Amino acid sequence: MVGERSLNIGRSVIDSILSYAKAAYPREAILLLNGKSGRDGILINGVEIPPLASHGYGFADFPLHMLPIDFSVVGTAHSHPSGVLRPSIEDLNNFYGRIMVIAAFPYETEQDIAAYDDNGDQIRFRIIEDQ
């Protein structure tokens, strides 16, 4: 999906994902990723909490029909309190957008975060300083 294009994530986005996941622990957390997708790649520069999001033990979800039309949403981020940094079958079956970011316990650094495409293939990302 992303192929050779770049994936850039803002430093504040990384910090927000880790903080939100840590606050929800031991439940899973879910966020929408905002940014831009173009020929050269994807830039993720913001996050938002989906409307009516539910955070449970082993799942995080939100009703898709409650989302407003927003073309800045490029994917989702969610946490794995188990520490597993790979998407599950359920994750791939509920893929939304172009990118899925997973944060795994202990949610301390960017080493606890990975990005995936809709096939479950890991995508390298670069952290950029916020502008």
Q: Which domains does the chain have, with CATH numbers?
A: 6-126 (3.40.140.10)
Nearest one of 65, 70, 87 to 78, comparing CA atoms = 87
Sign of CA dihedral 2, 48, 83, 126: positive
pTM value?
Answer: 0.91
Token digits for 101?
């970011």
Mean per-residue pLDDT for 108-123? 96
Mean pLDDT, the chain, rounded, equals 92
How do residues 12-31 score in pLDDT, each as one tens digit? 999 999 999 999 999 999 99
The pLDDT value recorded for residue 58 is 85
Q: Which DSSP helix (H) or strand (E) runs through 103?
A: strand 99-104
- Which residues are known catalytic residues? 28
